[in-house]
Amino acid sequence: SNNSSSNNSSSNNSSSNNSSSNRSSSNPGDLLVLGDFRAAQRVCLQLRLSPNSSNSSSGNDNLPGTYAPAAAATDDAGDVVYVWLVNTHLDHAAPTIRARQMQAICGWMESLKQGCAGIILTGDLNAPPEEQVHATLAEHGFMSTHKVCHRTV
């Protein structure tokens, strides 16, 4: 079995508030460039929490609510939440470069934590689980979906 993390997904849940700053996905700030390397890009998703999960066709009726794009919601019921989706592809050759890239990405997302329901980080970390990249994510409040699903956290 290969321990490298080629398709990783991590999430960071933050308390939701009504702040609307930094939510436009067309801002130049939605692309993180380090030197001449595009380290990450992000987009903010606006979702409406539906108070009624019985209309869910996913078979997950035990969930407390369902998510739908806010623009698709036809009624005023349910709260709107914001979730940032961040994608990255870290350096493949050097752990020290990957560590600096992840530190920059986490710093880049820090100011957005308070204005959203969560941050989902996806991409190719090019890093085995014991590498500093994963520790940096944990230090910034991100959880490994692999570890959570396999109950190793």
Q: What is the pLDDT of residues 104-134, one digit of tens each?
A: 999 999 988 888 999 999 999 999 999 999 9
At 53 the pLDDT is 44
Return the residue matching tokens 């991100």: 142
| Residue 146 to residues 18, 98, 143, Cα–Cα distance (Å) | 31, 20, 9
Query: What pairs with residue 118 in β-bridges?
Result: 13, 83
At 6 the pLDDT is 36
Return the residue matching tokens 């396999």: 150
Ramachandran angles phi, psi of 83, nearest 5° = -130, 130
Task: Provide the whole-model pTM.
Answer: 0.67
Q: With CA atoms as reference, report the closest residue to 22 among 120, 118, 141, 115.
A: 115
